[in-house]
Amino acid sequence: MAELPDRPPGKKVGYWNRRQLLQLGIAGLGVAGGTIALQNLIQKRPTVARIPPIPADAPSISNINPLQIARDFDYGKVTRENGRTVREFRLEASNSIVQLNSAVTFNTWNVNNRVPGPTLRATEGDRIRVLFSNKGGHSHSLHFHGLHPTEMDGIKPIRNGTAFIYEFDAIPYGLHLYHCHVAPVTRHIGKGLYGMFIIDPPKSRPPADEILLIMAGYDVNDDEKNELYAFNGMPNYYMNNPIPIYKNQLVRLYVLNMIEYESAVTFHLHANFFDVYRTGMTLTPSERTDVITMGVAERHILEFSYGYGGKYMFHPHQDAIAEAGCMGLFQVIA
């Protein structure tokens, strides 16, 4: 077993950091006063997140339901081996035709018959075992971001009709991803062979309404440019079917940029600011902003809550990309 890496420098923190205390106006209190105030705060701290149900009329389109995908985390089949947790995932490369809008259908290459593939989730130090079977009609592979030996790096093509077992330790904690690494990788990712891979820190993050958003593009006419874009697989879905969240509820967004053919895009949230946990590899935020730039495969955890009800947009601030399908709404329930 590989040894767990050291934590990022300077990130050994308790639940409240100095900045949060300053915001709460208690950092300057005497030790006794500060302790009492902290105890009061800790007692009032919510222990569970309030998460609205998925609207009953949220449609699935070509087997893709982005409202379901947004909060769907696959923890695998859990067993114990030699005193440690093993999480086994069954992933299958396949093809499916997806109706991207009323005029455009697209032949996706995907994992488990959905785009994006399942969001795999583990805790730091678990053993990950991925039973990968390729029924996609082409050679594919699964390349995981994280720490692992070379033979588990997923750059070797797995031929159609064959299988491979990827096995490695879930290290380090953070917001990671997996994708096919067969050349041309841009095409294999652009066709839909990617997903999120979340490794939680050993001591879990505070309760929050956790939502994942993967930005991606579709090159529908093979000109090596994207004509359509989407959050979680389906262009414009969240404009017609906003993601419900509750007012004053901490939301933890897991955001990944998988848009090929563009060097970078931004992610922008309306009428709010979010705390940024870069690559999900810290327990305290590094900045607070309302727009963040992300290169291909870059991903961050963003946290916020809304103080007012209503509908609020999120989208890349490359507005042509937003207007070609990568745009959505949160419905804040007062």
- In the complex with Cu ion, the residue whose CB is nearer, 132 or 267, is 132
User: Stretches 75-83, 183-191, 298-306, 326-334: which one binds Cu ion (CB under 5 A)?
Assistant: 183-191
In angstroms, give the least distance from the CB of 188 to Cu ion: 3
Q: What is the rounded distance in angstroms from the CA atom of residue 211 to the CA atom of residue 71?
A: 5
Applying CB under 5 A, which of residues 127, 140, 148, 315 lies at the interface with Cu ion?
Answer: 140
Q: Considering only residues 189-218, where is the footprint of Cu ion by CB under 5 A?
A: 193
User: Stretches 9-17, 53-61, 134-142, 251-259: which one binds Cu ion (CB under 5 A)?
Assistant: 134-142
* Residues 162-178: b if buried by 16+ CB within 10 A, e if exposed: eebebebbbbbbbbbbb
How do beta strands 84-99 and 127-134 pair? parallel
Number of residues that bind Cu ion (CB under 5 A): 5
List beta partners, residue 246.
Answer: 333
In angstroms, give the least distance from the CB of 259 to Cu ion: 17
Residue pointed to by tokens 């009709």 = 161
Does position 182 bind Cu ion by CB under 5 A? yes
Count, in order, helices (H) and strands (E) of the chain: 6, 20
Residue pointed to by tokens 């997140």 = 49
Does position 91 bind Cu ion by CB under 5 A? no
User: Stretches 18-26, 179-187, 216-224, 263-271: which one binds Cu ion (CB under 5 A)?
Assistant: 179-187
In angstroms, give the least distance from the CB of 256 to Cu ion: 18
Does position 100 bind Cu ion by CB under 5 A? no
Peptide bond into 5 cis (omega under 30): no
- In the complex with Cu ion, the residue whose CB is nearer, 89 or 306, is 89
84, containing H or E segment: strand 84-99
Does position 180 bind Cu ion by CB under 5 A? yes
Does position 143 bind Cu ion by CB under 5 A? no
Applying CB under 5 A, which of residues 188, 268, 300, 315 lies at the interface with Cu ion?
Answer: 188
Question: What Rg, from alpha-carbon coordinates, does the chain have?
Answer: 21
Q: Which of 199, 204, 282 is closest to 48 using CA atoms?
A: 204
- In the complex with Cu ion, the residue whose CB is nearer, 78 or 155, is 155
In angstroms, give the least distance from the CB of 148 to Cu ion: 19
Closest residue to Cu ion, based on beta-carbon distance: 180
Edge-to-edge, what's the strand order for the sheet holding 143-144? Answer: 120-123, 194-200, 174-179, 143-144
Q: Write out the two tokens for 233.
A: 């697989």
In angstroms, give the least distance from the CB of 276 to Cu ion: 31
Q: Is 161 exposed, middle or buried (0-12, 13-18, 19+ CB in 10 A)?
A: exposed
* Site of interaction with Cu ion (CB under 5 A): 140, 180, 182, 188, 193
